[in-house]
Structure formats: structure tokens, C-alpha cells
Amino acid sequence: MENLELERAKRMGDAVSSGLATVAKDGVVKSNGDEEGQKALRPKQQRALELLVGGMPVEKLAEEVGVDRSTVYVWLKKDAAFQAAYNQWIEQLESEAKARSKMLLRKAGDAVEKALEGGDGRLGLRLLEKMGIVKEREVGPTEAEEVEMERTVAKKKKDLERRKLEAEIKESEMNPFL
């Protein structure tokens, strides 16, 4: 199953990196044609993107493509067409991963149910903890004076923070260069 997903991602990455396709919001890969405003990637960028989306480290792909690794980083940070193609690929992967995760929710629920029915209480407790239903509660002070002291300290901290913020606001209003 993983090989099919990797192959699909590579085909999609190839089409997007070559500038022949884009990924729409609904996850559908659409042909670009010669739409105005679409910049095609240069051949070295196309190859670099193919290798990048295939999981090759930047250092190795830069050597393979025949550019310095800093060039690849520049493409990733400053070249709008390269960034857009890379972002489209990432968006597609995230969309596919979310769809797959949603499909697995039912199976996961069934597996947890079977484990609980089989007497695996640890799994049930772990699930409840992850859902935030079971939390260890920190025990506070047991003496009334200590409770009052904590409340007083908390109130004074809150007042101090408020006064500091008010002072910062006044100072910034008085000095427009801050």
C-alpha cells in the first residue's frame, strides 16, 4: 500500500513540479495549460523538486542537479514559482493524509472496543487520558491560611502584571519612536 501511495505522490509531484499541473483546494490535480500568470519551473528546478518530494536530502539533490545546496534553499525561500509548486505538493500530501486518517477512525474505534471487551483496561485508560477526560488533579494546600496566602499571591501577581502593561502602554503613547 505504501508503494502505491509513494508512486502516486511522485506522479503528482512530477506534474506539479514540471508546471504542467496544479493542485486545487479540493485536492484535484488540474492541468495548467498556458494560463497567464503561471510561471514554469526551469529544468534544474523541476528535477530538484522531483527529488525533494521524493524524500532526497537537499545536499544530495543539489549535487544530483548540479547546483549548490544554497541555491536550493534560495529557491525554497525566494522563488515564488518553486515555492508554489512545493506548497501544492505539501498541500496534496496533507489532504491525502487527512482523508486516510478519517477512514481509519472507524477501524481504530473498533480495535479499541475489541481490546476493552477483551479486558485490556490499560488501553481504555490511555485513550481517556489522550482525550483529556482523565487528568491527574494537583492537590492544593490543606490549611485555610495556605489557601488564603495562595489567593493573595495570585491576586498580587495579576495586579502587578496589569500595572506593568499599563505602564508600557503609557510609555509607548508618550514616545512615538518605541
My answer on whether 6 and 94 are in the same domain is yes
Fill in the amino acid letter for 158: K
Would you state the pLDDT for residue 102?
Answer: 83
Residue 95 CA to chain centroid, in angstroms? 12
pTM: 0.42
How far is Cα 31 from Cα 96, in angstroms, rounded to an integer? 19
Would you state the pLDDT for residue 106?
Answer: 81
My answer on whether 97 and 148 are in the same domain is no
Q: Which residues of the chain have a pLDDT value below 70?
A: 1-39, 134, 136-137, 176-178
Has residue 152 been placed in a domain? Answer: yes
How far is Cα 84 from Cα 76, in angstroms, rounded to an integer? 9
My answer on whether 17 and 90 are in the same domain is yes
Would you state the pLDDT for residue 31?
Answer: 41
Would you state the pLDDT for residue 4?
Answer: 47
Would you state the pLDDT for residue 1?
Answer: 44
Number of domains present in the structure of the chain: 2
Would you state the pLDDT for residue 154?
Answer: 94
Has residue 70 been placed in a domain? Answer: yes
Would you state the pLDDT for residue 17?
Answer: 53
How far is Cα 42 from Cα 10, in angstroms, rounded to an integer? 18
Has residue 52 been placed in a domain? Answer: yes
My answer on whether 22 and 75 are in the same domain is yes
Would you state the pLDDT for residue 29?
Answer: 42
User: Which of these, 55, 35, 49, lies nearest to 84 by C-alpha position?
Assistant: 49
Has residue 124 been placed in a domain? Answer: no
The residue count for the chain: 178
Would you state the pLDDT for residue 127?
Answer: 76
Would you state the pLDDT for residue 14?
Answer: 57
Has residue 7 been placed in a domain? Answer: yes
The H or E element containing residue 29 is strand 29-31
Range of the domain at 171: 144-178
Helix (H, G, I), strand (E, B) or coil at 142: coil
Has residue 48 been placed in a domain? Answer: yes
Cα torsion for 58, 59, 62, 68, to the nearest 10°? 120
Helix (H, G, I), strand (E, B) or coil at 78: helix
Give the residue from 82, 103, 124 where a domain finishes. Answer: 103
